[in-house]
Amino acid sequence: MAYFDEAKITVISGKGGDGCLSFRREKYIERGGPDGGDGGDGGNIILEIDLNLNSLSSFKGKRNFQAVSGKNGSGRNKKGKSGEDLVIKVPIGTQIYATQTKELIGEINESNSKIIVAKGGKGGLGNARFKSSTNQAPKKTTKGEQSDTREIFLEMRLIADIGLLGLPNAGKSTLINALTNSKSKVGNFPFTTLIPTLGVLENSEKSLTIADMPGIIEGASDGHGLGFKFLRHLHRTKFLLHLVDCSISADEALDSFSIIENELKEFHLDFSKQKRWVCLTKVDLLTDRKISNIVNQFSKRLKDIPLMLISSKNGTGLEELKKELFKRL
């Protein structure tokens, strides 16, 4: 299943209507004055937030968007009808770039809910506008402004409080199901999660959003596997939970931890400022002796990164994890 978090589209605003050249022609009025009306403005192209959307799939198969042009002015000082704006709905977190310059035009979020990406042309002036004491019968008009055509690139980044990080099969989907009301697919094979899944963790006072991403593999920062394209989504989260399967040997668990850490360092976004905890998962499969050994090994490596032991299957450590997340966020 494809996940649409990018789109390249062409937007064309409406052209402005032309001003009208006209003079009054009424019975018993031999020399009527100028009465040519202005042209109407062209419609804008506007991107606007829609909180019900969670991807850019609406742009699949559609690349060109054009607003309505303004109508020409007419006699009797009638202004041409302005073209309606074309409003395009996009999800929260959509960033808009000019494809030619790579410049960020803006981001759609709750405080910036709509952005004009192509401004409609202004309507031209009718000859009535040019009447003066020295020119009672002007024949001058102006044309409406041309439409604005531009190609833009849309990139959607999920906005969540907490991002789950880890190799395939680290237990991310099982954990988000255990903590929230989401229904992330679970299975004993790599890449069970093919698209980001959002869940909501709630208590009596607040709610937190958790994002479950496809598992990251070694080489993800160079474009390998599914995780690469979702690393930028994780960068938007406030908090990272790095899940490590500890049902394997301590050395293998440490290696899997190092793989993810290295991929974050190699990626072009800086993750160093985000708070991060390491959760050793599937502890229900370990004896107390093995748990003690793996905790000792990780404690030496982690230094200042908090370590938690959890089992999504039998609930070990989940209440403590919830409590700490609500306290920290």
pLDDT tens figures, 66-85? 999 999 999 999 999 999 99
Architecture of the domain spanning 1-156: Distorted Sandwich (2.70)
Q: Is the pLDDT of residue 2 over 70?
A: no
**195-220 confidence digits (pLDDT tens):** 677 888 988 888 898 988 766 655 54
Query: Known binder of ligand: residue 212?
Result: yes
**150-195 confidence digits (pLDDT tens):** 999 999 888 889 999 888 888 888 899 899 866 554 444 444 445 6
Query: For the chain, what percent of residues have pLDDT higher than 90?
Result: 60
The predicted structure's pLDDT at residue 165: 87
- Mean pLDDT computed over every residue of the chain: 87
The predicted structure's pLDDT at residue 217: 55
For 162-328, which CATH superfamily applies?
Answer: P-loop containing nucleotide triphosphate hydrolases (3.40.50.300)
Task: Give yes or no for a contact between 114 and 49, defined as CB atoms under 8 angstroms apart.
Answer: yes
Query: Known binder of ligand: residue 209?
Result: no
Query: Known binder of ligand: residue 102?
Result: no
The predicted structure's pLDDT at residue 169: 81
Banded pLDDT at 30 (limits 50, 70, 90): low
The predicted structure's pLDDT at residue 190: 40
Query: Known binder of ligand: residue 215?
Result: yes
Between residues 246 and 225, which one has the greater pLDDT?
246
End-to-end Cα distance, the chain = 32
Query: Known binder of ligand: residue 281?
Result: yes
The predicted structure's pLDDT at residue 222: 54
Q: pTM of this prediction?
A: 0.75
Q: Looking at 3-7, 16-20, 48-52, 212-216, which range is the least confident one?
A: 212-216
**244-286 confidence digits (pLDDT tens):** 999 999 999 999 999 888 888 888 778 888 889 999 999 999 9
Query: Known binder of ligand: residue 134?
Result: no
For the segment 112-122, the average pLDDT, to the nearest whole number, is 97
Query: Known binder of ligand: residue 283?
Result: yes
Query: Known binder of ligand: residue 1?
Result: no
The predicted structure's pLDDT at residue 157: 83
The predicted structure's pLDDT at residue 186: 45
Q: Looking at 190-194, 223-227, 286-290, which range is the least confident one?
A: 190-194
**For the residues of 160-211, what is the DSSP string, one character each?**
-SEEEE-STTSSHHHHHHHHSS------SSTT---S-EEEEEE-SS-EEEEE
Angle at 60 between CA 59 and CA 65, to 5 degrees: 40
Phi-psi region of 166 (alpha: psi -120 to 50; beta: other; left: phi over 0): left
The predicted structure's pLDDT at residue 184: 52
Sheet holding 239-245, edge to edge: 197-202, 207-212, 162-165, 239-245, 275-281, 307-309
Banded pLDDT at 227 (limits 50, 70, 90): low
Query: Known binder of ligand: residue 15?
Result: no
Query: Known binder of ligand: residue 237?
Result: no
- The domains of the chain are located at 1-156, 162-328
